[in-house]
Each structure stands twice: as C-alpha cells, then as structure tokens.
Amino acid sequence: MQYNAKAPYLVETHWQIEEVIDGDSIIIRNRFSQLQKRIRLYGLDAPEVRISRKMIEEEQKSHLAAHFLRQFGLMSLQYVLSVAPPKTNVTIITETNNYYDYWKRQLGYVILPGGECLNDLLLINGFAKATDKFYCSRLAEFQLMNREAQLNNIGIYSYVNNF
C-alpha cells in the first residue's frame, strides 16, 4: 500500500471491529477507552444491503433491479465478515486533510492484523467499486484495482459488468 507523501496521515492503533455495517462501513471500538466510532472506507462504494433512497438511485443508474443490488450488497458484507469479522484488531489510517464524509463519519483505510488494507481487498476481489464520491489520495490506484477485477470477472463482476 502506497501513501501520498503530500497528504498527512493520522494513524490510530488499538481498535477492534465491533460491527460490520455493510461492505464499506464498520463500527470500531478502542480496546482501552471503549470509545466507539463509525468508519467509512476511503475510495470505494459497495452495494447497499437495505432498500433505501441510495439503492433506488443505484437501481436507476445501473439498470439492475434493487433485489439484485441487495444480493450483491449481502455478498460484499459476507466478504468483509470473512476477512475482518467482529473482534478483529485493526489500525485506522485517515488523511488529515480529508477526515470526514458528508454525514460526518470518519473516513479511513482499515489495516488488518496481517498488514493487508481492507479497502484494497474489497476492490481487488470485486466486492466494491472505486468511487470519487469521497476523495482519497489513492483514488487512481483504486480505480486500477477496480478495473482489473472487472476485466477478470472477479467477485460481483462474475455476475454483472457494472454495479
């Protein structure tokens, strides 16, 4: 994982996954202070797991029925649970110049105990797509990972060309 030297980072250790909300959002808890917060993964978007306004918008953009989009969202959620289940210790890296999203969730790169970045794994394995909705310094790299998964029919891309 390469970081942009121009972007200052905040590195937070001693966190544990409390709950996986969906393919691009988790709740974490500090192992010492018990402080809890919601993290939105940088640079990617996973299909929704619940029927919502956003899913209806995605249905119109993708021309895929909400039922299929929800199934893809559940696949993404299951993938995250398989590589980062609750109680997994994580490190959160946040770009200090781009700390929160529109809904005031902290944005983050989630680093797993083995050093893998959860954001990368979701893109490489085709369970999320790269998006510029929430800026991150690794966007170009994420777009390349996304395209490779798409071209190789990996993950959700084994069912559809776009989601």
Mean pLDDT estimate for the chain: 93
Sequence-distant (≥ 6) Cβ neighbours of residue 112 within 8 angstroms: 83, 84, 88, 90, 118, 121
Write the pLDDT tens digit of every residue in 25-55: 999 999 999 999 999 999 999 999 988 888 7
Q: Can you give the pTM of this predicted structure?
A: 0.91
Write the pLDDT tens digit of every residue in 2-15: 555 556 899 999 99
Give the CA-trace dihedral at 99, 101, 105, 106, to 10 degrees: -20
